[in-house]
Structure 1
């Protein structure tokens, strides 16, 4: 199954397509100094929920970039439904091709580091979208320890430890202003939402040619989560600011 279609099936109905909450997203926005008039770009904005939250709470304006057409439509609907259509918009395109006409105050990638090839590469990409005093907000997975059993770590070679995340930020000339971690309830809610979406799809597509693939996919996700993800993998939003050195 094509990757974008798989993401739409498994996560398209989730309000926030990451193991976090609206409250924690707002905490991260406050730590990033978002306020009335701040211009924000979010790479891989999904259905636009995070930008909409920041727009309502902090009065930001800005742009979401998303490659999946169904998600772009949902983001536009979300902006219109919350009265933010005049301040927030979405561009349906590959984020790697986007070049801003002018730099933003804040650039975010919440659960979208895979687009650029990892945490460090995402920092570099987002820095190109902001001015010299701009802030970076990245939501990403991390290994809870550098002693993760190798049979698990091999499955996700791109995931860093938090110490490696700190090093990547400093290497880019940034300081970590805040970290907003996900808890067990955030993970359970997110993973359960994916399982329910897959089960709903299976119930609605009894004769689909990809049915066996989706059953195997569901069971693999659950094996990963119960086998090691719950214990060894974390997720957090990191707010990065220009360093003082």
Structure 2
């Protein structure tokens, strides 16, 4: 199954496709000093919930970049229902090829740095989209310890420690200004949400030619989370501002 189709199947019905809550998103928006009229760009906007939360809480205007048509349509419906269509616009496109027409006060990239090839490249590119006094908000997995079992770490080569995250950002000219981590409840809600979405699809599609692949994916993510993820992997939102 295509990767993007698997993302839609396993997470498409989630309001927020990361282990985070609206309360924590608002906390980061406050730390970033968001005010009415400020411009926010979200890379990998998913179902549009993060931009909606920021628009309602701070009166920002925003653009969300999302490659999956199903997610774009869902986001546009949600924004219309909330009366936010004049504040937030969804562009259905490959974010890696998007060239902005203006600079933004905040760039949001939650779990989507892979679009640019990883954290370092994402920061390098997103920096060019950011106004001089602007900031970049990254959502990333991280290793809680350097003592990760090798058989697990090999499957997660793109995960860094928080020290490495901050060091890479520093080399790109950014300081860490604020962070919010996912707690156990955030992780459980996110991971079990994936399990429920996969199981619902499997029940509804017992004769689908890709049934076995989806079942294998479900068991794989369960094994990873229960066997290693809870103990060794974390997730956080990191607000980076230009070095003073």
| Counterpart in the other structure of 1:177 | 177
**Residues in 2 aligned to 1:117 and 1:226: alpha-carbon distance in whole angstroms:** 28
What do residues 2-59 of structure 1 show as CA deviations (whole Å, max 9, x unaligned)? 1111000000001110011111111111111111111000000000000000000000
Structure 2 length as normaliser, TM-score?
0.98
| Counterpart in the other structure of 1:90 | 90
Q: How does 1:1-245 map to 2 (within 5 A)?
A: 1-244=1-244
8 Å contact kept, 1:106–1:137: yes
8 Å contact kept, 1:64–1:89: yes
Deviation for aligned residue 1:81? 1.2
What is the number of equivalent residue pairs in this alignment?
A: 244
SS in structure 1 of the partner of residue 137 of structure 2: strand
SS in structure 2 of the partner of residue 154 of structure 1: helix
Deviation for aligned residue 1:69? 0.2
Structure 1 length as normaliser, TM-score?
0.98
What do residues 192-243 of structure 1 show as CA deviations (whole Å, max 9, x unaligned)? 0000000000011011000011111110110100110010000000001111
Deviation for aligned residue 1:142? 0.5
**Residues in 2 aligned to 1:78 and 1:51: alpha-carbon distance in whole angstroms:** 11
Deviation for aligned residue 1:111? 1.3
Most deviating of 69-78 and 120-129: 120-129
Most deviating of 227-236 and 24-33: 24-33
Unpaired stretches in structure 1, ≥5 consecutive residues: none
SS in structure 2 of the partner of residue 34 of structure 1: coil
Unpaired stretches in structure 2, ≥5 consecutive residues: none
Runs of 4+ in 1 over 6 A off after TM superposition: none
8 Å contact kept, 1:145–1:161: yes
8 Å contact kept, 1:174–1:241: yes
What do residues 153-186 of structure 1 show as CA deviations (whole Å, max 9, x unaligned)? 1101111110000101111111111010000110
8 Å contact kept, 1:108–1:126: no
SS in structure 2 of the partner of residue 238 of structure 1: strand
**Residues in 2 aligned to 1:78 and 1:128: alpha-carbon distance in whole angstroms:** 30
